[in-house]
Amino acid sequence: MPIALVTGATGFVGAHLIPALQGAGWTVRAAVRSSAGVVLPEGVDRVAVGDLAQAPDLRDALAGIDVVIHLAGRAHVVRETAADVDRIFGRVNVAATRHLADQAAVAGVRRFVLLSSVKVNGERTGDRPFTEADVPAPEDAYGRSKQEAEQALRAVGAATGLAVAIVRPPLVYGPGVKANFLRLLRLVDRGVPLPLGSVRNQRSLIGVWNLCDLIVACATHPAAAGETFLASDQRDLSTPELIRLIGHALGRPARLFPFPVTALRQAGRLAGQGDAVERLVGSLQVDSTKATRLLGWQPVVGVEEGLRRTGEWYLRSIGQVR
């Protein structure tokens, strides 16, 4: 039975990936900062490794491991200066990845799967979706750190023979989701009127089940070695379409009203929320056919079903059942 070491095992994606790996016949070892207070599914081994960016000795954690799946990282920095943001992301997302890959190669690990981000490609698309062949164009510190982590991992692979696979998802949703998607669930549930009825964008997203299925494929399929994959549900939605589907999942009407998109963008900039508004009105599409072509991968859960499951989780989390 193959053994996978998973970092970030207690996070949003990790909580879904572990049962997906176990269901595929893997033994899972979770690398955690500290074992205190950590709750993991039955049958999961755990090993406390401390701060990966501090270059800890990982020989015990990596002993007998076939594949490392690196989910851990930092996505947000609050109330820091620009210089601090780049430094923090570089330390957590780049140095930690490089150290883990170096140690994995020394330990004889066969493959290393990195969860990266579509932000390596950029923040928006025009007349065509992003592909893996596009020149990276990250626009913020997080995106830059993910690109640098990819480069560091590929360098280790080239120098040592460690097989690497990289997955760049767009927005990920599902039970346990946080941040912007959770805020959108709350707004729709509370019946807040949203001035997004005039938006005509297209955005890719991916259910956490589909992302985990692709990660498992990257850990096992011979053709995944040395490759980078963009991933999505393979059905893009406009923001109004997404809100209507969320409303249906929650048993709530979607309260949308028309408002000029240019005015929305201007209001967002004036309020210091330009990036947040752009995520609602701009387009960001990815082409995930490479994963289908090379790995035979297809999404295992459709958008409506994925949002229904997410809505059920949200309602349970607030103590409501409809």
Give tens-digit pLDDT for 196-206: 999 999 999 99
The span from the CA of 97 to the CA of 73, in Å, is: 9
The span from the CA of 53 to the CA of 92, in Å, is: 6
Band of residue 321 on the pLDDT scale cut at 50, 70, 90? low
The span from the CA of 73 to the CA of 215, in Å, is: 16
- Tokens 């995930």 identify what position? 288
- Tokens 């767009």 identify what position? 170
Mean pLDDT of 290-314: 97
* Alpha-helical segments (H) within 191-260: 208-220, 239-250
Give tens-digit pLDDT for 143-166: 999 999 999 999 999 999 999 999
- Residues designated as active site: 142
pLDDT of 322 > 80? The answer is no
Considering the domain boundaries, does residue 267 fall inside one? no
Considering the domain boundaries, does residue 189 fall inside one? no
Mean pLDDT of 256-284: 93
Tell me what pLDDT residue 231 has: 94
Band of residue 233 on the pLDDT scale cut at 50, 70, 90? very high
Considering the domain boundaries, does residue 56 fall inside one? yes
The fraction of the chain above a pLDDT of 70, given in percent, is: 97
Tell me what pLDDT residue 113 has: 98
Considering the domain boundaries, does residue 74 fall inside one? yes
Structural domain range at position 54 = 3-168
Task: Please state, in angstroms and as integers, the Cα–Cα distance from residue 5 to each residue in 13, 113, 114, 150, following that order.
Answer: 14, 10, 12, 19
Nearest Cα to Cα of residue 6 among 53, 73, 57, 54: 73
71: helix, coil or strand?
coil
Considering the domain boundaries, does residue 307 fall inside one? no
Least confident of 89-103, 158-172, 243-257: 89-103
Considering the domain boundaries, does residue 262 fall inside one? no
Mean pLDDT of 72-85: 67
Give tens-digit pLDDT for 30-55: 999 887 778 888 889 999 999 898 99
Mean pLDDT of 282-286: 97
Give tens-digit pLDDT for 98-131: 999 999 999 999 999 999 999 999 999 999 999 9
The total number of structural domains in the chain stands at 1
pLDDT of 77 > 60? The answer is no
pLDDT of 3 > 60? The answer is yes
Q: Are 195 and 139 in contact (CB under 8 A)?
A: no
Considering the domain boundaries, does residue 13 fall inside one? yes
Domain of residue 60, CATH code = 3.40.50.720
The span from the CA of 216 to the CA of 268, in Å, is: 39
Residue 161 vs residue 319, higher pLDDT:
161
SS3 string, the chain, reads: CCEEEEECCCCHHHHHHHHHHHHCCCEEEEEECCCCCCCCCCCCEEEECCCHHHCCCCHHHHCCCCEEEECCCCCCCCCCCHHHHHHHHHHHHHHHHHHHHHHHHHHCCCEEEEECCHHHCCCCCCCCCECCCCCCCCCCHHHHHHHHHHHHHHHHHHHHCCEEEEEECCEEECCCCCHHHHHHHHHHHCCCCECCCCCCCCECEEEHHHHHHHHHHHHHCHHHCCEEEECCCCCCECHHHHHHHHHHHHCCCCCECCCCHHHHHHHHHHCCCHHHHHHHHCCECECCHHHHHHHCCCCCCCHHHHHHHHHHHHHHHCCCCC
Tell me what pLDDT residue 83 has: 63
Considering the domain boundaries, does residue 236 fall inside one? no
Q: Are 301 and 234 in contact (CB under 8 A)?
A: no
